[in-house]
Amino acid sequence: MNLDLDSLLDQIADRVAQRLSSRLSVSKSKAVHPRLLTVEQAADYLGRSKSSLQHLIADRSLPTVRHDRRVFIDIQDLDNWIKGAKT
């Protein structure tokens, strides 16, 4: 009797796990990815330090979007910078 109950609970747990997994994968596909990144996020994206990215901005090697007192970098500009830096 106890073995049958354990088996039933395992089956229920497996079904719940499958449903949760499918729901999570659907919600991930609907996730919004920001186009504008902060300087810190852009540095992470490029694998560089924040100060390194600030030098690129100061040299005008990388365009920025400024709103109020905040600085953002368009992810497409980061991708273009990468393409341009390839040899």
Q: Which residues of the chain have a pLDDT value below 70? A: 1-3, 25-31
- One-letter amino acid of 31: A
User: Which pLDDT score is estimated for 43?
Assistant: 95
Measured CA distances, 50 to 23, 34, 59, 64 (Å): 36, 19, 14, 14
* Predicted local confidence at residue 27, as pLDDT: 58
Please answer whether residues 78 and 42 qualify as being in contact, where contact means their C-beta atoms are separated by less than 8 angstroms: yes
Name the pTM for this structure: 0.62
62 vs 71: CA distance, rounded Å:
12
How far does the chain reach from its first CA to its final CA, in angstroms? 70
Number of residues in the chain:
87
d(CA 80, CA 1): 65
Q: What is the pLDDT of residue 37?
A: 96
Domain range summary for the chain, segments of one domain joined by + = 1-31, 36-85
pLDDT of residue 24: 75
